[in-house]
Amino acid sequence: MKIHEQCVVAPPPSATQTSITLTFFDLFWLRLRPYELTFFYSLPPPHSEPSFFFANVVPKLKTSLSHTLHYFLPLAGNIVWPSDSPKPIVQFTPGNGVSVVVTESDAEFNHEIDYSPREAARSHPLAPHLHSSDSLASVVSFQITLFPNKGFSISMSINHAVLDGKSAAMFIKAWAFLCRSQTNNETQIPSLVPELEPSFDRTLIKEPDFTETLTGFLLKRFPQENRDPRCLKIIPSSPVPKDAIRAKFVLTRRDLEKIKRRVLLKWDVVEESKSTVFSKPPTLSSFVVTCAYVTVCIAKAVHGIDREKQKFAFEFAADWRSRLEPRLPDNYCGNCVWNSLVNADPSDYIKEEGVVIVAKHIHRKVKMLEKGAAFERFSQIMDLLRKGDVQMIGAAMSNRFGVYDTDFGWGKPAKVEMTSMEQNKTPRIGLAETKDGSGGVEVELVIMNKHVMDLFATLFREGLCDDD
C-alpha cells in the first residue's frame, strides 16, 4: 500500500464551536472497537488513471467532505470528558477536522469486489486508523484508495459511541449527494435534501427506567481494563485469527419468498423446545427469514465441523427511533440501537427444522419490540456469553439502509463491506440490500475457520435448492 497524502479535512471556516452530550444509547459503545465500512467503486479511464485521480477525483472528494461536515459538525470534533461533566461529550472547536489518508493499492480490484470466500485480513489495509487516547477520541476517519485503472474505495472508521449504522449510512449518502451536486465554486455549500439533514437534538432522548452503569458494563466485559472510569481510549482488540474467512452471499427476492412459504407452511406443525404460543402471521419480513436461515446454516456448519458445539444464540441490534416516546425523527444522528437477544433454546439452531423454529422466535422478538417491549439489560447477553458452551451469532447493519444508493457521481458501489466484522471473534452477519434493487438481501459473513465457511456455503446453496 503506497501512501500519497495524509491530511486533515475541516468544515468550512464559518463553523463555530458546538458540543453534544452522549446519551445512554451512545455510552453503551464507549471505548468499544470502531466499526469500519468500505465502499468500492468501479472507475473507468481516464478517471482511474493515477494522474487524473489524484489531481481531480481526490480534491472533489475532499471539498465535498468539508461541505458535508458543515452539516455534521460534531463528527469533525472529538469525544472528551470535562471534569465538571457527569458524561462524556462530543465537542467541535474551530480548527478541528477529520483525518483523511489517500493511498494506492497494487491489489487486484476485481478480487476485492468479488463475493467468494477469501482471507478476511485482505481488507485491513483499506481501513483507516481511528485515534484515541485516555482523554480524547476521534469520531471518524477516512481512507481513499486507488486501484489504478480499475476503481477506488472509500473506507470510514467510526467511533460507535457517536454514530450507529443508520447514522453512518446517512452521513456517507449526504457526502455522496454533495459530491454529485458540487459546482466549480468550492466556497459555495450546496443544500442537502431534507432526509439527509441530520438532527443532533439529544433532548429528545428520555432515559429508560434502568441504567446499568457504564463502568459496571466495562468491568464485566473487559475485566483486564480496570482503570480510570473516565478513560476514552478504545480498548484494543486481540489479533484476528489468520484463517478468518470473509464472504458475501445473496438471497434473491425469489429465495426469500421460498423460505417464507416453507416456514409458514410448517408454522403450526413444528414444535419448539419452549412452551411458547406463536400466532401464525399472514407473512414474514425479509429480516426474519434472512436471519433465521443464515444463523441456522452457520450453527449447523459449526456443529458439523466441531460436534461438541451444540448450543447457539442469536442477537441483533434493533433500531428504537420509532419505538421511543416521543418518537425520534428518522434523521436523528447518533446511536439509537439496543441489542436484542432471541429467546430460542440454544439447541434449536441445529435441529432439522431449525429455520422454522428460529424464525418463530425472531418474529416474536420483533413483534415484542414493535409493541414497546422493555429494554433488555446487556448483562443478560454477557451472562450468556460467559457460558462457554454457547456460541453467540450476531447481526449488524440492515437491508433498509440503502447503502448501494451511495453514488458520488461515478455510479453506485460495486460492493459495500463491513471491514471490521471479524473483530468480534464470533460468527457475524452483515445485512444490506442487493445492489440491483430487486428486493433481495445481501449477507456478509466472517467465520474464523475455512472448513466451517466451506460447509456453510454448501448448506446455504443446498437449502435453497430443496423443493417446497
Q: What is the CATH number of the domain that holds 122?
A: 3.30.559.10
Residue 236 domain-assigned?
no
pLDDT one-digit tens code per residue, 362-393: 999 999 888 776 666 556 666 666 666 889 99
Q: Which parts of the chain register pLDDT below 50?
A: 211
pLDDT attached to residue 229: 77
Residue 51 shares a structural domain with residue 190: yes
Q: For residue 230, is it within any domain?
A: no
Closest CA to 167 of 231, 247, 90: 90
Do 79 and 119 sit in the same domain of this protein?
Answer: yes
pLDDT for 448 equals 86
Q: Give me the pLDDT at residue 465, please.
A: 87
- 369: cell is 419490540
User: Which residues lie below 8 Å from residue 146, measured CB to CB, with a gap of 6+?
Assistant: 48, 50, 53, 54, 102, 103, 104, 105, 152
Q: How far apart are CA 364 and CA 370, in angstroms?
A: 10
Q: Which of 196, 225, 254 is the last residue of a domain?
A: 225
Residues 98 and 205 in one domain: yes
How many angstroms separate the CA atoms of 346 and 58, rounded? 50
Query: Is 31 inside a domain boundary?
Result: yes
Per-residue exposure over 259-276, b if at least 16 CB sit within 10 Å of its own CB, e if not: bbebbbeebeebebeeee
174 with 252, same domain: the answer is: no
**256 and 220 inside one domain:** no
Catalytic residues: 160, 407
Q: Are 340 and 255 part of one and the same domain?
A: yes
Whether residue 257 is contained in a domain is answered as yes
Rounded Cα gap, residues 444 and 262, in angstroms: 23
* Judgement on whether residues 215 and 254 belong to the same structural domain of the protein: no
Domain-embedded: residue 388: yes
User: Is there a domain that residue 239 lies in?
Assistant: no
Q: Which residue has the cell 482471507?
A: 119
Boundary of a domain, candidates 156, 190, 225: 225
Same domain, 201 and 319: no
Say if residues 179 and 196 touch (Cβ distance below 8 Å).
no
356 and 324 within one domain: yes
370 and 300 share one domain? yes
Same domain, 77 and 212: yes
| Residue-level pLDDT at 376 | 66
Domain count, the chain: 2
DSSP class of residue 94? B
Q: Is residue 234 situated within a structural domain? A: no
* Within a domain: 6: yes
Domain that holds residue 90: 2-225
> Is 264 found in the same domain as 199?
no
Q: Of 225, 255, 275, which marks where a domain is finished?
A: 225
